[in-house]
């Protein structure tokens, strides 16, 4: 008499059998799902979202869940799937006090007492690091 070997997981064989039957039963429904109007609409919305935002609909869900900037498009081009968002790029506004000096104009962030007669700009004028039309451009190549 030989003894039967018992499985370490008694329900594993039963679970595998049930999964196989369910998998075969689902083969008939594949064609119906692919042409179902809801599936086609969801696919079209996903494509439109990728074109408009460079993110799929699930990417937006992951964004909300993680608080990071996640994009399958960026990942498919060799980048990271999720990156931390950059801090807001707010313009820095300051008041400059510019005065005529010998051969040039010198500007300071605070007023120099007694030099009002040499002042070039109106002290109420606010200078911004970025204009309203777009980002500030840097020096041309070769300039400092």
Q: Taking residues 27-41, what's their average pLDDT?
A: 68
pLDDT band at 132 (very low <50, low <70, confident <90, very high): very low
DSSP character at residue 138: -
Q: Where is pLDDT greater, at 64 or 11?
A: 64
Q: Can you give the pLDDT at residue 34?
A: 66
CB neighbours of residue 57 within 10 Å: 13
Alpha helices for the chain (secondary structure H):
12-25, 30-34, 37-53, 57-66, 72-76
The model's confidence at residue 144, banded by pLDDT at 50, 70 and 90, is very low
Higher pLDDT, 139 or 77: 77
pLDDT at residue 131, as a whole number: 45
Output the pLDDT for position 129: 53
pTM attached to this predicted model:
0.41
Report CA 85 to chain centroid distance, whole Å: 6
Q: pLDDT band at residue 45, thresholds of 50, 70 and 90? A: confident
* Domains in the chain: boundaries: 30-83, 93-128
Collapsed DSSP state (helix, strand, coil) of residue 126: strand
> pLDDT band for position 61 (50/70/90)?
very high
Q: Looking at per-residue confidence, does 144 or 109 come out higher? A: 109
Distance CA 49, CA 58 (A): 10
Question: Which has more pLDDT, 11 or 57?
Answer: 57
């Amino acid at each position: 008499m030989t003894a039967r070997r018992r499985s370490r997981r008694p329900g594993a064989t039963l679970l595998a059998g049930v999964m196989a039957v369910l998998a075969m039963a689902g083969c008939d429904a594949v064609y119906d799902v692919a042409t179902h109007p809801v599936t086609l609409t969801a696919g079209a919305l996903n494509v439109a979202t990728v074109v408009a935002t460079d993110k799929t609909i699930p990417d937006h869900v992951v964004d909300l869940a993680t608080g990071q900037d996640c994009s399958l498009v960026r990942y498919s081009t060799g980048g990271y799937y999720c990156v931390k968002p950059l801090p807001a790029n707010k313009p820095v506004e300051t008041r400059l006090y510019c005065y005529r000096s010998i051969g040039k104009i010198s500007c300071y962030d605070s007023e120099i007492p007694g030099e009002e007669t040499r002042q070039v700009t109106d002290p109420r004028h606010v200078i911004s690091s970025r204009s309203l039309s777009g980002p500030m451009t840097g020096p041309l190549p070769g300039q400092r």
